[in-house]
Amino acid sequence: MTSPEPAAAARPDLAPDTIVVETGRPDRADGASVNPPIDLSSTFISSGDIESSPYAYARFDTPAWTPFEEALAQLEHAALPGLVFGSGLAAISAVIGLVPAGGTLIIPTHSYQGALASAAQIADRQGFALNTVDIADTEAVIAALDKAAAKGAPASAGEGEPGAASAPAGDAAPAGDAADAGVGGSGEGPGMLWIESPTNPMLEVADVPELIAAAKERGFRVCVDNTFATPLLQTPLDLGADIVVHSVTKYLAGHSDVVLGAALTSSDDLRERLHTERSMRGAIAGPFEVWLALRGLRTLAVRLDRAQANAQAIAERLAAHPAVVETRYPGLPNDPGHARAKAQMNGFGAIIAFTVDTAEKATAIAEAVRLWTPATSLGGVESLIERRRRHPSEPESVPEGLLRLSVGIENLDDLWTDLAAALG
**Residue 112 annotated as catalytic:** yes
d(CA 205, CA 201): 11
- For 130, phi and psi rounded to 5 degrees? -120, 125
Burial grade of 171 (CB within 10 A; 0-12, 13-18, 19 or more) = exposed
Active site residue 250: yes
Q: Is 59 a catalytic residue?
A: yes
Catalytic residue, candidates 221, 250, 273, 298: 250
Cα–Cα distance, 305 to 326 (Å, whole number): 25
The span from the CA of 220 to the CA of 149, in Å, is 8
Task: For strands 129-133 and 191-196, give the pairing.
Answer: unpaired
Instruction: State the catalytic residue, choosing from 59, 317, 342, 390.
Output: 59
Q: Any catalytic annotation for residue 57?
A: no
Bond preceding residue 333 cis, omega within 30 of 0: no
Considering the candidates 25, 39, 61, 112, report the single residue annotated as catalytic: 112
From the list 225, 242, 335, 418, the catalytic residue is 225
**CA distances in angstroms from 231 to 67, 81, 235, 328, listed in the order given:** 17, 15, 5, 22
Cβ within 8 Å of residue 276, ≥6 positions away: none
Q: Which of 198, 264, 193, 254 is nearest to 229 (CA)?
A: 198
Which residues have a catalytic role annotated?
59, 112, 225, 250
